[in-house]
């Protein structure tokens, strides 16, 4: 037998071992040995093709690979599906930023532009797939998927049509003039979830529209006031009660004729400002809701390119910021300002993706998924109800449990999902119209996979990227086809992902699966936290504190990185990673390696004829080992991966190495026991440190050895 080197060298092991696994075919459940019967399935959260993998991905892969390897060893028919996400808006934004390409140069050459983004995406995709392999992920590559490949495009179209068979039907509708969050920088609408709020100091202006207007109002956005159609007060407010119902016509405000109705609405806070709010229905979501409640007129005064439009009178053509100054000047010179502007803290909306300004404005042909329309095929329940039922009923369990509350609270406040994006890279709508472009009030369109006839053009917009990821658990299994995979592996068993995408992704998968299949997409959701640096900061390029997982695996080995990631990492809690921690785990890997050397050196010579009698210590040692197996198994069953890892680390080093091996040297324990310990520990460690344990397994003289440790029986 060859001598093991003194220190473990992951470089000469990992590539070789991964090939061995791939060659075995055991990543694919169809090729697993007979004993693997009961299916166990999971999808990998498809990484965005915006770049390469970071520590967060590495943690995801580590946890999921631990789960799948454990289940495989238990004897389940394990399927873990790999894939990547086209991430339409994120990828397009990133591409524009990195390439310097200007979209405006491609006005009529949409396909050319898409090809460029595609190239960019493909390059990243290849890198990602390589990285996944190098992290040791035992994914079934034969089922590799991409959210924008042919099969998934088919699934998306099918889903859309099921949700919206034709104009006026289903749960998708076009929001004619519904206010959207408009990302001025990216020139697209985005969903509520993609809007972030930044606290900043702003000026609150208090004024009247005109000298004879009875009520003064406060606002941080005076320029929008040319679009006001009402002033709302609280009906209980004694100061204003007598005005409710009155109408003031022909108010001259910055050269615009305003017509303002005084309305009473209980949502108005009497304490804030003057207790009266100027209602701007087309440039505020809250105002829009109030306007709908009271049947108010709506006037758009700001356009999509950050300028005032033709309804803004003398402000027309001005940039929004300029218009603001102009209005303030006008108010001053007309002595309408009640007092000097106050500095207040204000939450300013901005786009999570582009970092640019969000302007609320009406959009003519924006598609929405209604979350509150009763669905006949689902016992007239609404999506909202389906979403909350899935978790409330206990069909889906979220772990850690506290996230169930977070989820349910979110569902409670959920508004319709805005799914149209004015982005080019992504899924097209199976929706057609006859040009000129649909800007009319009554838009005519046809829902169809293919061109419905002469003169039709397809909708220019693309779908929110989460629309396709929402289908992931079943689109990867062949849906809408009635495939064997779908029957066997859906619902999936565990959905493991970061808590930061519980709404974006987890909720959307539940939504899609409930609507389209009438079943849950997974039984358990396991959420992990953010991976931070040693000082608990988020890793970011601008901070320069990014630790690249591949650098670390190259330096210390994949097993060391994986162990460091899971060590001391509680479920749902943010964790930290540092080079020092990884180094420590590299040392552990080396400890495992050298214990193996010791065992091999002591077994190779006279293994045939072991004369070791069971010693007094053997019995207690065996009990200890048995207890450990029980604990590790329990930890894994209850998703306490960190505890299992910590236990294993401690047991291996401070019990097995420090006590058992030392006792063996003194002749206090038998060789059989030593070997039993080693074999068992290697198996228990395998899900966590797959490479080194597999390498060791291949070298150990074990009876009835299998092709690889990966399919060995989990110790009992």
**Residues sharing a CB contact under 8 Å with residue 453, sequence separation 6 or more, in sequence order:** none
Q: Shortest gap between Cβ of 599 and RNA (angstroms)?
A: 8
Q: Shortest gap between Cβ of 531 and RNA (angstroms)?
A: 11
The residue among 377 and 580 lying less far from RNA, judged by its C-beta, is 580
**Structural Rg of the chain based on CA atoms:** 31
Q: Shortest gap between Cβ of 244 and RNA (angstroms)?
A: 15
The residue among 275 and 470 lying less far from RNA, judged by its C-beta, is 275
Q: Shortest gap between Cβ of 405 and RNA (angstroms)?
A: 6
Cis preceding linkage at 480, omega within 30: yes
**Cα 646 to Cα 256, 307, 391, 676, 684, distances in angstroms:** 70, 59, 31, 21, 12
Cα–Cα distance, 603 to 612 (Å, whole number): 12
Q: Shortest gap between Cβ of 241 and RNA (angstroms)?
A: 15
Q: What does DSSP assign to residue 714?
A: P
The residue among 33 and 272 lying less far from RNA, judged by its C-beta, is 272
Cα–Cα distance, 284 to 224 (Å, whole number): 10
Cα–Cα distance, 652 to 678 (Å, whole number): 9
How far does Cα 480 stand from its chain's mean position? 23
The residue among 84 and 370 lying less far from RNA, judged by its C-beta, is 370
The residue among 326 and 586 lying less far from RNA, judged by its C-beta, is 586
Q: Shortest gap between Cβ of 135 and RNA (angstroms)?
A: 20
The residue among 424 and 563 lying less far from RNA, judged by its C-beta, is 563
Q: How many residues does the chain have?
A: 716
Across 65-169, where does the E strand assignment appear? 77-81, 83-84, 145-146
The residue among 160 and 563 lying less far from RNA, judged by its C-beta, is 563
Query: Rounded to a whole number, what is the distance in angstroms from the first to the last CA of the chain?
Result: 30
The residue among 123 and 538 lying less far from RNA, judged by its C-beta, is 538
The residue among 346 and 706 lying less far from RNA, judged by its C-beta, is 346
CA 645, 650, 651, 653 dihedral sign is: positive
The residue among 84 and 216 lying less far from RNA, judged by its C-beta, is 216
Cβ–Cβ < 8 Å for 269, 234: yes
Query: DSSP H helical segments within 567-700, as ranges?
Result: 579-603, 616-637, 641-650, 662-665, 671-685, 690-699
**Residues sharing a CB contact under 8 Å with residue 101, sequence separation 6 or more, in sequence order:** 95, 113, 116
Backbone angles phi, psi at 514, to 5 degrees: -65, -40
- Edge to edge, the sheet with strand 522-528 lists 77-81, 39-43, 492-498, 522-528, 397-399
Q: Is 617 exposed, middle or buried (0-12, 13-18, 19+ CB in 10 A)?
A: middle
Q: Shortest gap between Cβ of 656 and RNA (angstroms)?
A: 8
Q: Shortest gap between Cβ of 84 and RNA (angstroms)?
A: 24
- Name the pairing type of β-strands 522-528 and 492-498: parallel
Cα–Cα distance, 697 to 682 (Å, whole number): 7
The residue among 151 and 640 lying less far from RNA, judged by its C-beta, is 640
Q: Shortest gap between Cβ of 224 and RNA (angstroms)?
A: 8
Q: Shortest gap between Cβ of 627 and RNA (angstroms)?
A: 13
Cα–Cα distance, 44 to 714 (Å, whole number): 23
**Cα 185 to Cα 50, 189, 283, 358, distances in angstroms:** 19, 11, 17, 8
Q: State the residue for tokens 């090809």.
A: 115
Q: Shortest gap between Cβ of 652 and RNA (angstroms)?
A: 9
């Amino acid at each position: 037998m060859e001598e093991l080197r003194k220190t473990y060298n992951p470089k000469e092991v990992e590539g070789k071992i991964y090939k061995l696994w791939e060659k075995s075919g055991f990543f694919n459940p169809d090729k697993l040995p007979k004993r693997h019967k009961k299916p166990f399935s999971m999808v990998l959260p498809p990484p965005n093709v915006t770049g390469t993998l970071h520590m967060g991905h590495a943690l995801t892969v580590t946890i999921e690979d631990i789960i799948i390897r454990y289940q495989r060893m238990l004897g389940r028919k394990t399927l873990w599906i790999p894939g990547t996400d086209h991430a339409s808006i994120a990828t397009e934004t990133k591409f524009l930023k990195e390439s310097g390409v200007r979209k405006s140069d491609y006005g009529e050459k949409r396909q050319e532009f898409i090809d460029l983004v595609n190239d960019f995406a493909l390059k990243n995709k290849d890198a990602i797939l390589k990285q996944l392999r190098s992290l040791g992920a035992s994914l079934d590559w034969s089922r590799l998927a991409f959210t924008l490949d042919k099969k998934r495009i088919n699934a998306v179209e099918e889903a859309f049509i099921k949700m919206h068979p034709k104009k006026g039907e289903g749960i998708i509708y076009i929001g004619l003039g519904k206010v959207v969050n408009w990302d001025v920088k990216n020139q697209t609408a985005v969903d509520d979830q993609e809007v972030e709020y930044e606290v900043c100091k702003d000026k609150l202006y208090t004024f009247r529209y005109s000298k004879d207007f009875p009520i003064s109002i406060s606002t941080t956005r005076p320029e929008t006031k040319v679009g006001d159609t009402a002033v709302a007060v609280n009906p209980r407010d004694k100061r204003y009660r007598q005005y409710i119902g009155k109408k003031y016509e022909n108010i001259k405000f910055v050269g615009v004729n305003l017509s303002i109705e005084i309305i009473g609405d209980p949502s108005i806070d009497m304490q804030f400002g003057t207790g009266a709010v100027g209602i701007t229905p087309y440039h505020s979501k809250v105002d829009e809701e109030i306007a709908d409640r009271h049947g108010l007129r709506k006037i758009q005064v700001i356009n999509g390119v950050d300028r005032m439009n033709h309804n803004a009178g003398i402000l027309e053509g001005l940039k929004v910021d300029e218009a603001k100054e102009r209005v303030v000047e006008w108010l001053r010179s007309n002595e309408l300002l009640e007092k000097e502007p106050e500095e207040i803290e204000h939450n300013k909306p901005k786009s999570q993706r582009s970092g640019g300004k969000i302007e609320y404005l009406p959009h003519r042909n924006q598609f929405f998924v209604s979350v509150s329309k009763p669905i006949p095929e689902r016992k007239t329940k609404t999506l909202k109800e389906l979403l909350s039922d899935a978790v409330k009923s206990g069909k889906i369990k979220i772990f850690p449990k506290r996230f169930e509350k977070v989820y349910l609270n979110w569902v409670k406040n959920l508004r319709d999902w805005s799914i149209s994006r004015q982005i080019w890279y992504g899924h097209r709508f199976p929706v057609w119209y006859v040009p000129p472009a649909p800007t009319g009030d009554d838009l005519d369109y046809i829902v169809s996979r293919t061109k419905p006839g002469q003169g039709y053009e397809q909708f220019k917009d693309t779908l929110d990227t989460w629309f396709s990821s929402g289908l992931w658990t079943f689109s990867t299994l062949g849906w809408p086809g009635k495939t064997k995979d779908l029957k066997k592996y859906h619902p999936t068993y565990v959905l493991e992902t970061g808590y930061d995408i519980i709404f974006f992704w987890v909720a959307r998968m539940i939504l899609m699966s409930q609507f389209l299949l009438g079943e849950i997409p997974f039984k358990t959701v396991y959420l992990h936290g953010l991976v931070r640096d040693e000082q608990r900061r988020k890793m970011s390029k601008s901070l320069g504190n990014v630790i690249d997982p591949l650098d670390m695996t190259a330096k210390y080995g994949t097993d060391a990185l994986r162990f460091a990631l899971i060590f001391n990492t509680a479920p749902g809690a943010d964790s930290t990673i540092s080079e020092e921690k990884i180094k420590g785990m590299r040392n552990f890997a080396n400890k495992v390696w050298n214990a193996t050397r010791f065992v091999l050196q002591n077994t190779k010579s006279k293994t045939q004829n072991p004369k070791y009698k069971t010693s007094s210590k053997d019995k207690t040692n065996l009990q200890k080992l048995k207890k450990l197996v029980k604990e590790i198994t329990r930890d894994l069953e209850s998703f306490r991966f960190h505890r299992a890892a910590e236990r294993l680390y401690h047991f291996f080093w401070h019990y097995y190495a420090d006590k058992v091996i030392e006792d063996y040297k003194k002749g206090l324990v038998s060789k059989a026991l030593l070997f039993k310990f080693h074999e068992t520990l290697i198996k228990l460690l395998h899900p966590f440190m797959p490479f080194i344990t597999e390498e060791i397994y291949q070298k150990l003289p074990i009876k009835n050895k299998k092709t690889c440790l990966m399919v060995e029986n989990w110790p009992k």
